[in-house]
Structure 1
Amino acid sequence: MDKFTNSAWFMRIVAFALAALLFISVNFEMESDKKSLGLSTAPENGTETIENVPVEVYYDRENLVVSGVPETVDVTLKGAKSLLINAKSQRDFKVYVDLSDPEISMGDRTVTFKISDLNEKLVATIDPEYAEVNVQERMTKEFKVDAEYNSSLLEEGYTAGQPTVSPETVKITGAKDVIEKISYVKANLEIRKGLNESVNGQATVKALDRDLNKLDVAIEPASVAVSLKVSIPSKKVSIVPEQTGKAKAGVRIKSISVDPTEVTLYGQEASLDKINALNLPVNISKVDGDTEMELNLSKPESVQKMSLSKATVKIRTEKVDVEDKDTEEEAEEVVVEEEKPVDKVEPETTESKTFTNLKIIPVGKQDDQEVELDTDVMSITLNGKAEDLKKISKDDISLTVDVSNLDEGKHDVELAVKVPAGVSWELDSKRVAVSVSMAQEEEET
């Protein structure tokens, strides 16, 4: 035993064992110290998802239009938590689609999203991974703007002319196939209900296809100034004093006059056409001498408003003997009888006949004009003797609208009516809306 313990190999083994124990002891203490200080020998990994990261698209913006690329994507990052926290707070990386190749082909294609400026120790996953995009040639074309408004919001009896637009044209830029789909360029003027005065405002311009779907294009300018002239049809008629009641004994009415002699009525044109005078009842039963009085004018139900509400009536009289009363009454009766034929038309000799769906014919159309009527048919009522009306057919009636002097745009034009002699006529409306357009060459940029 002594011989073994005193041997060189024994001493070597003991020394190696002591060295191993010392190494293990020192390393165990160091690991314990690191843990007590909150340190780790290996980084702690994690996962973070960053939502709504903007996507950049690289392509030739002067000559191409790219559609279909989402504005944002979600990015999931994996790696050391310390790096994840920094990446999420700083967002200093970029997600992009590269279509900058000058030889890129037009049409539909599938592209993958790429990421740059991300710490190389982090692993990124992009959702979605790819996008279906469309690449088209970029085109700019000039279009005329048509202004619109909701005519049902006008106050009853009021009408509006064709709205004017400034500027009259806009430049629209987009993909060639989208530009070719544009059928209408509209600017809708928002008005309030019960509008009864002219209005000026701004309206956003929209490009629409034939089915009135809004198209994704850039419009310059994006809005235009629209002016709408609002008015109400008017007609000036005479104020006719109408004697009522019976004069007092010994008083004879020599004359009745009114001041002013005319009043302006406002309302729908069809209603105004039926009014030729405004009667003003004047009660003479209390008049015992020359009198001047102010009376209220009664507004017809079909009239929206009048230029004045009162009129001054002057009555001139003379004194007569009471025994001449019978003679006076006879004279008054004669006057009444003489006035009847002037003011009245014998209704029993007049009849009406209505013709429907009469075609309205545009006349004076130029070769380079396109003319469209809001309505190309209308009804007409003829008034006259029964025997005359029986002889009249649709072929004897002509409704035309003269477009020879109309510029491009929308116009309110009066109809020209031809009917056989001896009859009068009434229309649903004496005017019709006419849209005129010209042939227009395409302009590309």
Structure 2
Amino acid sequence: MKRRMIVMKTLKKIIKFFRNLFRTIGSFIDRFIVTPVTKFAMFIGEKADKGAGKFERWLNKRNTLVFVSLLVSLLIFFYVDNQASTVIDSAAEVLHNQIVDVTYNKEAYIIEGLPETADVTLIGRTVDLYLAKQLSTGKVTADLSNLKEGTHKIELNYESPINSVNYKLDPSSITVNVYPKVSATKSITVDVINKDKLESKLSVQSVTVDKEEVIIKGTEDEKSIHNINKVATVKALVDIGELIDPTAGVNILKDVKLVAYDKYGNVVDVEIVPEKVTATINIESYSGTAKIKIIPKGSVAFGKAISSISSSVNEISIYGDQAVVSKYTESYIPIEVDVTGLSDSKSYTVVVPKPEGIREVSEKTITVKVSLGEEKSMEVDDIRIDAINLGPNLKAGAMGENSSKTTVIVKGTQEVLDNIDSTTIKATVDLSGLGEGEHTVKVNVTGDEVKASYFAKTTTIKVRITKS
């Protein structure tokens, strides 16, 4: 019952609200439409001649006045609605990064200061903006066809596909520099990149391109970024990574990019004719067999010496550039093992290094066993001291009696010492960077037997350096 009373009160309020609303609307129409129209009709009737009596009586009819008032109301409504729709429907749309289409004599001039893109703000009705965006004919243009050498300020234009749409450009005007175009001839050098993209057993033997020279075009103005006088070299960047399934033999790579550089290695923005070349790449799979030599590094425990060194393999297959492979097949590949503080025999798993120019080795790791014994020592007399790394046009001589020779202490197991050949022991002094005058230098000793250690009894000597 209580809920019903609440509903009834709410309905009464709603009915009262709409009654007041309609009363207000009726009062408004009567005051601002019916009454003015009636007065206007009365005025027309008073001014009319006697023959207009019927027209006056017609106008004085209530139905006629209501009809005329309604007609005027509708006219006012549609007019206001149309104006409001025009205002409400107006919008703006920004087209970002529109390419600037430039017209000028590209064979005769270089233009600097041109933006690649511009932003276009379209203003108009929503439906027109939608059509303008869908149509692809609109473009930003700059006409420089009548410009001569010098600095000029020009206006950008937008060719709109719909005339009812207005536009604004950002930037709307630009300042450009016009330079006369000049040309020169440059030789091509080849730069091979991404060699590591090849299969490990393959290597690049040689690369040639189908052009020896190209024409570069730009300006001669020092302030211009297109100055051809800054070009030191034009390189063909041969990217091995772009080869599809490269194999040993001849491989062809088309559309190799050409790039101009200054003397500092910076890219110079000039026109290059042709822009690209074709490269012929000779790839080889060169291999050989190289010996390995285990070289211990560091000192074993006190009183101990290395009695033997053995490895799981004594030679390996190597792949790489022919010259590098030949170098190591005629000598050996050194493999270092750290024996610092070693007090008992031990086996090591060692990674086989790949020297520069060697792309692949047959063994990735090897096992090295180092055996120890009791340390003994002996002395080898009269080892000549040689000077190394002396500068040009200089000569060096030892100062003091017997300074040109030294006694060398050799340490190792007795078996190792018994097989030492004194002719394989070398004593040297390094004179790198030393000029004329007297200098005290350190004596360094080495030997071919890696299981032994060598020490000069005379650790330093004095030398005099003079002009030769």
TM-score (norm 2): 0.43
Larger proportion of helix: 2
- Using CA pairs under 8 Å that are at least 6 residues apart, name the structure with larger relative contact order, 1 or 2: 1
| Bigger radius of gyration | 2
